[in-house]
Amino acid sequence: MKFLYHLFCLGYKVQQWLLKRFTSAGLAILVSLVATVIVGIDTKQTVTYQVFAFMIATLIIAVTFSCYFPARFDVQRQLPRFATVGSRLFYRVAITNRNQKLQAGLLFIEEIADPKFSLTEFKQIITSNSNKGSVNSLTYIYYRWLCAIAQKRKAKTKAIALPSLKPNSTTEIRGEITPTHRGVVRLQGITILRPDPFNLFNATKTVKQAGSLLVLPKRYQLPVFNLPGSRRSQSGSVSLASSVGDSEEFISLRDYRPGDPLNKIHWKSWAKTGKPVVKEEKSEYFVRHALILDTFQSQKHSEILEEAVAVAASFAWDFHTQESLLDLMFVGLESYCFTTGRGLGSKEQMLEILAGVTACQDNFDCLMAAVVEKVSMLSGCICILISWDQQRRKLVNYLRGFKIPLLVLLITENEQQHEDLNLENLYVLPLGKIQAALMNIRSI
């Protein structure tokens, strides 16, 4: 296993080097070289070896020409703070030519930091359950290795042609990155490429320029949707009212008790009496909904979890929080509950949190406990599940017992497996058809 790990690491580095240094035509020449070696083994019966010799000579000239690239460049990029999975990101890049000569025919490509996998992580990658191939196939194992690397890189880039760079001048161009997975993309520099006259091999000059951006989950279009709910008491909350609805009503003054929040202290009365006095106020009443995200699975990564996060992001972004509160509840390394609405938090912050969601391999009861703590304050609930079993049925029945509006979304690979589910306001979202299934949701 250790030998295979080092072999794959080396293979990936060689693959990246070939893709960067050789142009499309150069790669075609390499493939042709292999073919001519196979066909032209017997030099007495074929002239293929002559073609082989010609291509070898051409590549040697191309590589030799590209060994000398003394140009100097400075690079500055202006990255936005956020990107979204699946949406191409365009940004400005300023490249300064520090040479006395015009630089023409160049390309540039962003360098994304390559992820580092430990031997333990490598074992988990190649032994994780999958129905797409055999674990005994080296080709398939390497394919899964590349998929894991792509998932950790979070984005992909491509070489972009540069205009002619004038001597000692700065040229502004448009860079492009395509985010593929949510999370943080770490950039380590920009590489300038100069093809040889045969357009086979690239000379390179890398300018180190660290940078990063957060890739938010992709979002789906949602139908016009209304989740009703009556106002509930939010006792013990800190001034959640903004300008709409019932704010806290002053009742009386009383002596300070340990644990009272500082913003409740009545400073004028303290100045008069010489001892701390606090304001006693009536509890607030708000419409408060919960967005419960199921993250419990045995694997670290799965397409189902990614789609669940995307659906949660869609509701978090489209949910109207001017007159209500929305609690995002999920379990990762610990239990999380993030509240937005009525001036508390923002939709962007909620998407930032969803960008970092990880799978939880603990007991499902952790989520149940978090829900029990908040359920008395909830006016309605959206529950996004990635599986269906007795524990999840228990959670749904528990929420139904409080007679609050409840929408349950079950994301699955096998739609037929859940055809017998006949629960009110439960929608099955099959992979590959999630957008269409979401548009079938009706208001409760």
What residue spans in the chain does CATH classification 2.60.40.10 cover?
2-216
Average pLDDT over residues 145-165: 93
Average pLDDT over residues 386-410: 91
Predicted TM-score (pTM) of the model is 0.82
Convert the pLDDT of each residue in 294-303 to its tens digit.
Answer: 999 988 889 9
> In the prediction, which pLDDT does 243 show?
45
Average pLDDT over residues 75-85: 94
Tokens of 3: 């030998």
Question: 57-71, 224-238, 363-377: which has the highest mean pLDDT?
Answer: 57-71
Residue 365: closest CA among 389, 381, 400? 389
Q: For strand 183-195 and strand 250-255, is the pairing parallel, antiparallel, or unpaired?
A: unpaired
> In the prediction, which pLDDT does 230 show?
54
Neighbours of 360 (CB within 10 A): 20
Residue 429: closest CA among 389, 414, 21? 414
CATH no., domain 2-216 = 2.60.40.10
Would residue 386 be called left, alpha or beta, if left means φ above 0 and alpha means ψ between -120 and 50 degrees? alpha
> In the prediction, which pLDDT does 149 show?
92
Distance CA 380, CA 226 (A): 10
Q: Do residues 75 and 93 make contact, with C-beta atoms less than 8 angstroms apart?
A: yes
What residue spans in the chain does CATH classification 3.40.50.410 cover?
285-438
CATH topology of domain 285-438: Rossmann fold (3.40.50)
> In the prediction, which pLDDT does 181 show?
95
Convert the pLDDT of each residue in 303-347 to its tens digit.
Answer: 999 999 999 999 999 887 656 788 899 888 778 888 887 677 788
> In the prediction, which pLDDT does 238 show?
42
Give the side-chain half-sphere CA count within 13 A for 85: 24
Q: Which residue has the tokens 């979890």?
A: 305
Write out the E strands in 158-284: 160-161, 169-179, 183-195, 202-216, 232-233, 250-255, 277-281
Distance CA 144, CA 151 (A): 10
